[in-house]
Amino acid sequence: MPGAGPGTQTRPNLKIQEGCGNRCTFCVIPTTRGASRSLTAEKVMVQARGFIAAGGKELVISGINLGRWGRDLKENRSLASLVREILNETDLPRLRLSSIEPMDWTPELIALVGDFGGGRLARHAHLPLQSGSDGVLRRMHRRYRPWHYGQKVAALIDAAGPELAVGADVMAGFPGETEAEFRETYELIASLPFSYLHLFPFSPRPGTRGWEMHKLSPVPPQIVSERMSALRDLATEKSRRFRASFVGRTLPAITLHSPATLTAQGRTLALSDNYLPLELTQELPANQLVDVRVTEINAGGVLVCAMDSMTEKMAVAS
Ligand code: SF4
């Protein structure tokens, strides 16, 4: 598994888990990558300490099925215990968790988002949804029902507040998806406080049960494309509403490597702890943790920000 160092990447990804023991009917990973395997806690801590020593500020931990981290180790560890160990035993300024399956958001992990969110833990939870229809989820062999998903999101918002970025992967056109099933997905998404969605049309993978299902009951491409378009509009509107709610407010962020066109205008790209793309009206090096004040939302939906005065002083003094 690769190591993590800041290097040219401001937010490196430390992959701490490989493979997956689930059997989602659309997915080839269980056959191509095998069962879940975890990097030991000792190795994760060595990597995290190396990242900090090299000047890293925000570390993203990831895995194919990150929430399963530690279950295969002889100590039978949980991801929550590892996150707590990293936060308690290192000076890592900010940790971000990548995608975690809905049912792996345990009460312990959710409590950590409440304890450290907005400080050293990014207020960002990505829970793959795939479908909001009970019938489709069953055919996908997903391990949760739509109401379980809603309960996890509600618990996360309860713990971390409405500033939490909640994101999901959603698939349109799974074999046999009826109009009524699609509406269930649409309505569930409309009812939940998503800040962004990653949308995919179903794509049949040879060797999967989904491939066989697709041969028997494919959703016509035109219908898939209409459903994708409806979801895209919904996602755009939810994302815009979430972003707009931060105009006039202060957000913690990390500066990123900016394209030359932006630096030529004396501007800097940044990412807020709650996963919002930002544009700072000031030129700053990458990998700086800053507090920024959002002044407006531009036509492209990017939040334009000024440095918060307190942080600016600190940055000048350091
Ligand atoms: S979709 Fe994710 S959880 Fe399901 S089998 Fe593939 S890797 Fe595992």
Please name each of the domains of the chain with its CATH number. Answer: 1-122 (3.30.750.210), 250-317 (2.40.50.140)
pLDDT of residue 316: 42
Give the position, in ligand 1's atom list, of the atom nearest the Cα of 26: 1
- What is the best residue among 17, 18, 20, 174 to mutate for testing ligand 1's pocket, by most ligand atoms within 8 Å of CB? 20
Please give the distance, rounded to the nearest whole angstrom, from the Cα atom of residue 33 to the centre of ligand 1. Answer: 11
User: What tokens appear for 116 in the block?
Assistant: 């450290």
* Residue 145's pLDDT band (cuts 50, 70, 90): very high
Spacing of C-alpha 308 from chain mean position: 26
Residue 318 has pLDDT above 60, yes or no: no
- What is the best residue among 29, 100, 131, 205 to mutate for testing ligand 1's pocket, by most ligand atoms within 8 Å of CB? 29
CB-ligand 1 contact for 104 (6 Å cutoff) = no
Protein residue whose Cα sits closest to atom 2 of ligand 1: 65
Residue 312 has pLDDT above 80, yes or no: no
Cross-strand partners of 27: none
Protein residue whose Cα sits closest to atom 3 of ligand 1: 22
pLDDT over 70, % of the chain: 94
Residue 228 has pLDDT above 70, yes or no: yes
Mean pLDDT over each residue of the chain, to the nearest integer = 94
48: exposed, middle or buried (C-beta count within 10 Å: 0-12, 13-18, 19+)?
buried
pLDDT of residue 8: 52
Give the mean pLDDT of 15-33: 96
Residue 311 has pLDDT above 60, yes or no: no
Give the mean pLDDT of 143-159: 98
pLDDT of residue 309: 59
